[in-house]
Structure 1
Amino acid sequence: MKEEKLLAVLRLQRCKAIGDILAKKLIVNVGDVEQVFKEKTAILSKINGIGSHVLKHLFDAKNIKLAQQELKYIQDNNISYSYFLDDDYPKNLQHCIDSPILLFKDGKLDFSNPRIISIVGTRNISSYGRDFCNQLIKEIATYNPIIVSGFAYGVDICAHKAAIEYNLQTIAVLAHGFEQIYPKVHKKYINQVNENGGFLTEFWSEEDPLRENFLKRNRIVAGISKATIIIESASKGGSLVTADIANSYNKDVFAVPGRTTDLYSRGCNNLIKNNRAYLLSSATDIVKMLNWDVQEKAKTIQKQLFVELNENEQKIHDLLHDKGQQLLDVISLECNIPIYQLSSILLQMELKGVTKPLPGKMFELT
């Protein structure tokens, strides 16, 4: 993205009087984010939701200065980002009306895998919840899903650690900027998460983990995945907010039942009782409800016994056959194929049933 366009996105994102829904409406109506700040106010004021109060904040000189500072931080620190209209923006989230117009990324994130599930729950996880979380991820690991959570205490960090243990990509969605980490005790997991996935946030570099930021963060956790799983929750809590948001997006929600006397099973039991979540007793429930088995069988049927490969495809096949799983960069180097060509070739080979992608930009033969 050109510097001028990114600056315009940052200015719009910084405007406190404009949320993501209204920001997208503005962009769509004027045709481009840069045009938002070039358009006459008389034209902008005709857009539903754009009044004098919004226009005052939209053209506030303070926002320009702050946006320029954040742009410098992004450039100086080589921060990756995704604009909501870009191809690399998470597809599931792109379909949510209130998704962030800009996401900041860190790590080895790969959203090409359609099997994405969010796992959330109480910070006060019990041994029952911990054991269930670990066993669930162990059993679904064969389907190679991406595990999303919020990097918080309890269920969140349990899900991230289990995903790493079973070589699954994991994504931590933060409620603050990249200049800090919350909770601080989880700093020791940063490198592991980055090597097995990475971090996402909509918040600027120095933004603090304020309470309202956690509530905003929850919509990303719910929207980025195909389904949200609540492991344990009291009768009130952030994970229930995430479940409500997921339901509003018409996503599947699962909850783990517990004893009626257990404080941190009440929220899950109520979700199930009120038909706001499917009862989750084992990994089989996930596999069946999300049709993962059907998808696997379809791939098996589509796979040809004798597949014709062109020269480049044969090079890749031979490398993976001889050396097993390989990084995208290694395949490019070993086969002397540029990355921009290699991605397309690997996709064709996947469609032929010859290769399959793994977390961390790894590939192997089927």
Structure 2
Amino acid sequence: MYASVYEHPKTQPTHYIMQPISDAEKICILALMHTPGIGAVTIRQLISYCGSATQVFQSDYRKLIKVPGIGDKIVKAVLGKNTLEIAEKELVNCRKFGAELLFFTDNGYPSRLRPLYDAPIALYAKGNTDFNWPRTVGIVGTRKISEYGKSVTEQIIRDLVPYQPLVVSGLAYGVDITAHRHCLRNNLATLGVMASGLDVIYPAVHQRTAFEMQENGGIVTENALGTKPDFMRFPARNRIIAGLSDVTIVVESARTGGSLITVEFAQNYHRDVFAVPGAINDPQSEGCNFLIRDNKAAIFTSVADLADAMGWAPGIPDVTAAATAAADLPPMSFEGFTQDEGQVLSLLKQSGAMQIDELAWQSGIHLNRLATLLLNLEFQGMVRSMPGKKYGLI
């Protein structure tokens, strides 16, 4: 029902140079976000075409009208520069509130989100967490959680402790808040993705939990301060949960609901999904059972089985060591490979194992073509498919 709002645009990946962002550039990006009629895809096109958000506002009509997908109405809205003052005040307010602003061109922006076609232009965050945590698990489900659901959620969190993932959920009633609170009890990092501004905790009864989460995790949103949790913001929130998670676990879900929307996004992002089975006559487990029946989710039996499927060993993986080991491989000859194949092999050698979305973003190769290239390289014995939709050199 909501997927069409975030339909994949028929454009090639766009690339940006990751570098420190000045306050002037931050204000200009925020101003573009507040400009009527402009969405994330359009903002990326404008910045890519002009070189920076600052240069977008310094461009004239003749230059902006040439940007693909930009019409007369949008150009005039940008040239009006009416949102620059709003953006400047927003940046000041964020700093007063203690919120961190992460833009999609920032080094600290979540690497799992950056390659996605509908990734937020900016994230507002508060807390103490690394958005590029080595392992992430999304836990979602019904707001009307049963005793069975509470018991399973508690067990999942307890059993995840040896693997030390960042647990991502939505701070809502039911499964979400149960997961967050048990993470706090087990000293496991947890992140709450909100459908409102950081200063509008919803539901309000979860304010204390949201505050406690900021010691080992935090809260994050794509919405400006003061934004109310309107209905249509929840599907948008769900896509961020799916995008931040290597694997999503649905604990309990009715036949319809936000959890199933999260699953749709996770599948679109090529992420793994597990569902906890329930009684066949329990409406609160009907959604999970259908996901398993329709092969939209693997059946969740234990954290140990999930860890095995994801290729996780207990402890926190040393990502730096893995990348260093890949870089230390003997020199590779790309003779006999196409230019695109050589580029993929070079990236995998430089960075180690990579998720297919990140590989597509780094290489600039369309996802469908990249999947074919990787399959050919597997047949040639050059790369291997790994758990979590990752690929690495053999």
1:200 matched to 2:220? The reply is: yes
1:167 has 2:187 as partner? yes
Q: Which residue of 1 aligns with 2:86?
A: 66
Match of 1:40 among 60, 76, 100: 60
Q: Does 1:217 align with 2:237?
A: yes
Instruction: Please identify, of 32-41 and 113-122, the stretch whose mean Cα deviation from structure 2 is larger.
Output: 32-41
Q: Does 1:109 align with 2:154?
A: no
Q: 2:50 aligns with which of 17, 26, 30?
A: 30
Deviation at 1:61, TM superposition (A): 4.5
- Over the matched positions of the two proteins, sequence identity in percent amounts to 38
Q: Which letter does structure 1 place at the counterpart of 2:311?
A: N
State the secondary structure of the residue aligned to 1:235. Answer: coil
Of 282, 289, 301, the residue aligned with 2:302 is 282
In the TM superposition, 1:1-366 aligns within 5 A as 1-293=21-313
Task: Report if aligned partners of 2:193, 2:219 keep a CA contact under 8 Å in 1.
Answer: yes
- 1:173-210 per-position Cα deviation (integer Å, ceiling 9, x unaligned): 11111222100111121221111210111111111010
Cα offsets for 1:102-144 (capped at 9, x unmatched): 1111010123431101111110011111111110111121010
In structure 2, how many angstroms separate the alpha carbons of the residues matched to 1:40 and 1:124?
Answer: 54
- State the TM-score, normalized to the length of structure 2: 0.73
- Conserved? CA contact 1:151–1:157, under 8 Å: yes
Task: Name whichever structure is richer in helix by fraction.
Answer: 1
CA deviation profile, 1:210-241 (whole Å, cap 9, x unmatched)? 01111111111110111111111111101111
SS at match of 2:220: strand
| Paired positions, count | 301
Q: Encode CA deviations 1:228-278: one digit per residue, 9 max, x unaligned.
A: 111111111011111100100011111111122111111111111111111
Rounded Cα–Cα distance in structure 2 between residues aligned with 1:47 and 1:285 = 49
Matches of 1:221 and 1:232, distance apart in 2: 16
How far apart are the structure 1 equivalents of 2:255 and 2:245?
24
Change (3 A) 1:164 1:51: same
| Contact 1:222–1:246 (CA under 8 A) maintained in structure 2 | yes
Q: How far is the alpha carbon of 1:158 from its aligned partner?
A: 0.7
Deviation, structure 1 residue 66? 2.1
Cα distance in structure 1, aligned partners of 2:56 and 2:89: 20
Secondary structure of 2:58 counterpart: coil
3-state SS of paired residue (2:83): helix
User: What is the deviation of 1:37?
Assistant: 1.2
Name the TM-score, length of structure 1 as normaliser: 0.78
Q: Partners of 1:171 and 1:56 in 2: how far apart? A: 39
Q: 1:247 to 1:124 in 2, by over 3 A?
A: same
Structure 2 residue matching 1:228: 3-state secondary structure: strand
Using the alignment, how far apart are the partners of 2:73 and 2:316 within structure 1? Answer: 53
Whole-angstrom distance in 2 between the partners of 1:27 and 1:82 = 16
Quick one: distance in 2 between partners of 1:296 and 1:183? 33
Aligned equivalents of 2:79, 2:139: Cα separation in 1: 40
Q: Matched residues in 2 for 1:101 and 1:231: separation?
A: 30
Q: Secondary structure at the match of 2:260?
A: helix
Deviations 1:297-346 (A, max 9, x none): 999x99xxxxxxxxxxxxxxxxxxxxxxxxxxxxxxxxxxxxxxxxxxxx
Structure 2 runs not aligned, ≥5 long: 1-20, 323-394
Alpha-carbon distance change, 178 to 295 in structure 1, aligned in 2, over 3 angstroms: closer
Worse-superposed segment, 94-103 or 66-75: 66-75
Say what the alpha-carbon RMSD is for the aligned residues: 2.1
| Contact 2:162–2:315 (Cα < 8 Å) also in 1 | no
Distance across 1 between alignment mates of 2:318 and 2:127: 32
The DSSP-based 3-state class of the residue aligned with 1:69 is helix
Moved more, 260-269 or 36-45: 36-45
Quote the Cα distance in structure 1 between the aligned partners of 2:316 and 2:226.
44
Q: Distance in 1 between matches of 2:58 and 2:31?
A: 13
- Change beyond 3 A, Cα 1:142–1:268: same
